[in-house]
Structure 1
């Protein structure tokens, strides 16, 4: 047996691939970051999503100026109409856009390597598939968290700065505002992890994107309404519904239906989707053949 082979087999710090030092986890994170930012389409999608989502939110608030300046008369049996800055400042249209973009980017980071065959090179250089998958999770979560946080904070502070002249704006210190901003930001990494899990399961561009759209936007339609309690309770645990509940202004008179989700339950639902999706992605990447 040669001295090189003895060194490889005897020293746990040496890589079995070529006798060099094993890459640290920070090296794997750096490599995954290079892969992600080397795809121009990825950061163009993320940057465009941020700009469009913020513009949609701010424009929705701007379009309400006429309504604020000339409020409609109160309906019979109800008090005066009050304006909710959260409803349009952090509206659901932009949230859906962020969810879709984050989930697709998460899926691309997985099925993109399988489609191009780069995954074979990755696993040849780093046989520890679990470490590679965890590095992907860290990078995708961090990038999409930045995206979601940017959309959320700019939309909140920008829309309420616009409303300051109408004296109906909110401050971040007002009850529930921190929760609304945080939930609006966190839906991006949660959906990105869901996308990664689906990308790992299907490993195909079309199938992964269709699965993302179906799970995040079509499946919730099956669990709406208040006719069946069980269906409504299942719907409350889906990512979009949980986020909508958390972003609701606690000071606004919102009707959540007969079977409303709780704030704590919605936080648990988002956390569960993130954890389960991350585990699925790691397990599938580790165990399935290339």
Structure 2
């Protein structure tokens, strides 16, 4: 009887921690400004790509590829979302209050991750969906011209990728504990290093591997989807596990 009660108590405590972390994430003004800006920029870029595209009838694959092109740039917003989610704890000493409320630090880091996942996935689904919809509208393509099954797979895969990268960047932000250095590292990689490395087909890098999952046209040299997902998961765990370990040993 005692063991069952203790187990339920731990489970209830973890559920409460998840709700607390979700509430903090929802209450951050920076969260909504960032996601709102990401959505707006995605739509603007999609309009620009759509109006400049020269797409003939029946070129469904090209339409879908154009539909996610903007996200290759605005994915930065999801990396920054993860950084904000973790580093906001260190603004004004909020981390001390959090640790008093949730003394189990491993449970705290896991709860913060669990709270971030659905938030990032829904946001990613909306952003990618808006990008493809904008392209269809600006190019004058009919919905019937698009492969809806393929579009659904692309949107879901892209949302999954953006979610994993938000978790990765959250872990990096926690390890560094400073928003600007963590954001700088991620943006330098995404905006400078990654474009230079794409021609090398380095599919062991997370963003390059992900393109095989959410682009309709996939190079012959690309690995299978399962391998790409394993690459993304490996990169995410490579940052998440150390962040949980350090959380258990760090004073604040």
Name the TM-score, length of structure 1 as normaliser: 0.73
Equivalent residue, structure 1, for 2:22: 33
What's the CA shift for 1:158?
Answer: 4.8
What CA RMSD, in Å, does the superposition of the two structures yield over aligned residues?
3.2
What's the CA shift for 1:197?
Answer: 1.4
Query: Hey, what's the Cα distance between the residues in 1 that align with 2:143 and 2:95?
Result: 55
2:55 matches 1:68: yes
2:235 matches 1:273: yes
1:204-215 alignment to 2 at 5 Å? 204-215=178-189
Q: Aligned match of 1:90 in 42, 65, 68? A: 68
2:170 matches 1:196: yes
Equivalent residue, structure 2, for 1:6: none
Pick the structure with greater CA Rg. 1
**Shift in alpha-carbon separation, 1:120–1:22, aligned structure 2, 3 A:** farther
What's the CA shift for 1:276?
Answer: 3.1
Query: Hey, what's the Cα distance between the residues in 1 that align with 2:222 and 2:19?
Result: 43
Q: Could you give the per-residue CA deviations for residues 142-193 of structure 1, whole angstroms, max 9, x where no partner exists?
A: 11111100112233345346656569831312xx434322222222211111
Query: Hey, what's the Cα distance between the residues in 2 that align with 1:248 and 1:153?
Result: 13
1:250-269 alignment to 2 at 5 Å? 250=217, 256=219, 259-269=221-231
**Greater relative contact order structure (CA < 8 Å, 6+ sep):** 2
Query: Hey, what's the Cα distance between the residues in 1 that align with 2:142 and 2:231?
Result: 36
Unaligned runs of 5+ in 2: none
What's the CA shift for 1:108?
Answer: 1.7
Query: Hey, what's the Cα distance between the residues in 2 that align with 1:145 and 1:277?
Result: 19
Q: Aligned match of 2:110 in 116, 119, 134? A: 134
Quick check: which one's helix share is greater?
A: 2
Bigger mean CA offset, 45-54 vs 139-148: 45-54
What's the CA shift for 1:125?
Answer: 2.2
